[in-house]
Structures are given as structure tokens and as C-alpha cells.
């Protein structure tokens, strides 16, 4: 499978659909708008953080299994990002480190239960969309989900800033599969068709180098 990675507002969902259409494969999307726990988490992260991560883990494992039929199927989020998110929540006091450790252990055990084929446990390619903190904030504001807005919860400013910083370090350390980075500031592939064409060409080149296309 191919998985997209990136912080909130990076454009993962949009690029997932574009890439699946381009490759003639199937897109798999993270559950957000129909996620019953996510709004509760933003209101009380300490209470709902662990439940939210278990919800995402369950959904993402289903997506991984459903995507087995085609190596070019596209998932709009990597399961490997979840441990990053939860560890950060624990460091910020929005969850406990015990909960984060239990989640990390559970993730490892669940991944071991997947069929023993390397391309099914890790993606064929991870595509990280890097955006600046300023772009991230603008995208969050533009899409208008009330529970994500800083004006409704000023503490989210530091949360988003820390998240953006940690994603850079996470990508640099990621070693589960081949990877590539898309500059989401330079290429606004959602609004600019020419930028979208360049990004798809970059991905095609990487897939060809990996003998996936």
C-alpha cells in the first residue's frame, strides 16, 4: 500500500484522492467527520485520549487489511503516526505516559497479528507532506472544524506548534519502508492544478524507482 503522512491540514485527504485517481487504485480515508470520539477528545483530552487512539488503531488495522488486494491502494494516514501523536499528548499532559506505553505495546502486538508479508505490515511507500506551522494554521482555519479552532481553545496553538515540530523529527527517523517528502508549502496541490501535476510526477518517479509502477 501507499500511505500519506503529515500534520493536521497538510492535505493528506486531498492528495489521497488525487493519487488513487491517478493510479487507478482505491483510496482509504481516516474517519474524522463521523468520528464520535474526536470532538470529545478536544473538550477533555485527558479523559478521551486513550479511547481515541484505540478507535483509530481499530479503524486503521481494518484499512490495512482491506487494502491488501493492490499495492497501489492509498491510505490517507499511516498507522505509525499514531504512537507519535499519543506520546506527544502524554508529554503535554493530555494523557499519561502509562497509557502511551500501553498503546505502543498494543500497536506492536496488533501489527504482529497481521499476515506475515512485509508489504502488508508496512507500506510500499510512505509519502510525507511537509508544511510550515503557518500553512498548517491557515489550513485548519480554512476547513473550519469548530473543535480544531484556536479561538475556541487557545491551548491548541502550542499543541499544533509542537505537533508540527515533532512531525519533522518523526519523518527523519522513520525507517519502516521507503519514503519521500512533498513540500506542501511550495506545491499547493489542492488549489493549483500545475502544482498537483508536479507532485504526481514526483510520486510517479519514486514509484518507478521502487519498481511499483
Interval 128-139: pLDDT, tens: 999 999 999 999
Q: What is the pLDDT of residues 19-77, one digit of tens each?
A: 999 999 999 987 777 888 988 988 898 899 899 989 988 888 888 888 877 889 999 98
User: Is 17 annotated as belonging to a binding site?
Assistant: no
Report whether 120 contacts 61 (CB < 8 A). Answer: no
pLDDT of residue 119: 47
Q: Which residues are catalytic?
A: 76
Q: Can you give the CATH number for the domain in which 203 is found?
A: 3.40.50.300
The predicted model scores a pTM of: 0.86
- 40 SS3 class: helix
Q: Does 60 appear as a known binding residue?
A: no
Overall number of domains in the chain: 1
Task: Of 45, 125, 54, give the one whose Cα is nearest residue 93.
Answer: 45
Please provide the average confidence, as pLDDT, over all residues in the chain. Answer: 89
Does pLDDT of 118 surpass 50?
A: no
Cβ-count burial of 54 within 10 angstroms (0-12 exposed, 13-18 middle, 19+ buried)? middle
Q: Is 105 annotated as a binding residue?
A: no
Whole-number pLDDT of residue 71:
81
Q: Is 9 annotated as a binding residue?
A: yes
The CA distance from 35 to 16, in Å, is 19
The residue that leads in pLDDT, 113 or 143, is: 143
- Please check if 7 is assigned to a binding site: yes
Could you list the residue range(s) of the whole structural domain that residue 97 is in? 2-209
Longest pairwise C-alpha distance within the chain: 47
Partners of 127 in the beta sheet?
Answer: 4, 180
Percent of the residues in the chain that have a pLDDT greater than 90, as a whole number:
54
Strand order across the beta sheet in which 125-130 lies: 27-28, 74-75, 2-5, 125-130, 179-183
Amino acid at each position: 500500500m501507499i500511505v500519506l503522512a503529515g500534520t493536521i491540514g497538510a492535505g493528506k485527504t486531498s492528495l489521497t484522492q488525487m493519487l488513487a485517481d491517478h493510479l487507478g487504485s482505491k483510496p482509504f480515508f481516516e474517519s474524522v467527520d463521523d468520528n464520535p470520539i474526536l470532538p470529545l477528545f478536544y473538550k477533555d483530552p485527558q479523559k478521551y485520549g486513550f479511547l481515541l487512539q484505540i478507535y483509530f488503531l481499530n479503524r486503521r488495522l481494518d484499512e490495512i487489511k482491506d487494502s491488501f488486494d493492490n499495492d497501489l491502494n492509498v491510505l490517507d494516514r499511516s498507522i505509525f503516526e499514531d504512537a507519535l501523536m499519543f506520546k506527544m499528548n502524554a508529554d503535554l499532559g493530555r494523557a499519561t505516559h502509562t497509557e502511551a506505553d500501553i498503546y505502543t505495546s498494543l500497536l506492536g502486538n496488533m501489527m504482529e497479528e497481521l499476515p506475515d508479508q512485509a508489504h502488508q505490515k508496512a507500506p510500499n511507500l510512505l509519502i510525507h507532506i511537509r508544511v510550515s506551522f503557518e500553512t498548517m494554521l491557515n489550513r485548519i482555519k480554512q476547513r473550519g472544524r469548530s473543535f480544531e479552532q484556536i479561538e475556541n481553545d487557545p491551548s491548541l496553538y502550542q499543541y499544533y506548534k509542537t505537533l508540527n515540530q515533532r512531525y519533522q523529527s518523526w519523518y527523519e527517523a522513520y525507517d519502516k519502508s521507503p519514503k519521500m517528502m512533498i513540500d506542501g508549502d511550495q506545491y499547493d496541490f489542492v488549489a493549483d492544478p500545475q502544482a498537483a501535476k508536479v507532485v504526481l510526477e514526483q510520486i510517479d518517479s519514486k514509484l518507478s524507482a521502487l519498481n511499483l509502477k
